[in-house]
Chain A
């Protein structure tokens, strides 16, 4: 199996529909960095023996909306820690649901959440797949990155084995 743009888009849509009842519509246009500042980056890393990172980047405004939707709260959630927690949990769900498409993936980390874009610090060892979605009028980027399988060439999220 292999991670393709199609199964990434379908997985993201399915996870967000199920978790927060929102449509994550893929868009081709980059909305520009200003559209989602300040933002949150939540990531989960697969290991076995290569590293593959699943990362979502979204604005704090969207993270706040997602937190309220995730916990089924009719009122806004005021706690920024819960916004970040919700972003991390959604990244965890995307990773878990993508796992069947990632060859040889056995383990994955708990979510790591930081404020600010992960793009600046992203280690690019290999190919990556990058898709932007719009939810409730806000952009969200999802990135699958092959972070290296130096001792095991040919393995990773974009291999065909």
Chain B
């Protein structure tokens, strides 16, 4: 499975890449919303996008909205990641088309629990 990690923080991109690769994902990373949209226009289509909410060039919500309007991305699962703990924000993200929501700070277990909820968790690499 292919995952696209979108976050303006290099630390978070590294962390999520490591966690996802450990569960068998092939991972690509984008440092902002515009780069993410550019990647989504190409093939192969990612199975999962982990998308930061607050980014300088284009926010995660706008990326999500545009991604949901793109043809050929109906199978894309989107997990929004944000430091916001406001429950109202979760509702906004889900209404905009997010499949799951990951609150920062997150730990290994919370990431894998969300992947499990999405039906994307695969066995740990040997």
Contacts and interface: CB of A to CB of B under 8 A. Distances in A.
Nearest to A14: B105
B12 interface: yes
A82 B104 contact: no
A135 to B, nearest CB: 14
Interface stretch (A23-31, A95-103, A115-123, A124-132): A95-103
Contacts of B56: 110
Given A85-B9, A110-B8, A110-B55, A96 B104 contact: yes
B83 interface: yes
A82 B11 CA distance: 7
A99 B85 contact: yes
Interface stretch (A2-10, A65-73, A143-151): A65-73
B85 A96 contact: yes
Contact of A93 (B18, B19, B83, B86): B83
Chain A facing B: main interface SS = helix
Contact of B11 (A15, A86, A95, A110): A86
Contacts of A108: 54
Nearest to B18: A72
B105 A19 contact: yes
Nearest to B57: A110
Contacts of A139: none
A15 B83 CA distance: 10
A97 B9 contact: no
Contacts, number: 58
B84 A18 contact: no
Interface residues of A, number: 22
Nearest to A110: B56
B11 A97 contact: no
B54 A18 contact: no
Contacts of A18: 105-107
A92 B83 contact: yes
Interface of A: 15, 18-19, 67, 70-72, 81-82, 85-86, 88-89, 92-93, 95-97, 99-100, 108, 110
5 contacts: A70-B15, A85-B9, A89-B11, A96-B82, A96-B85
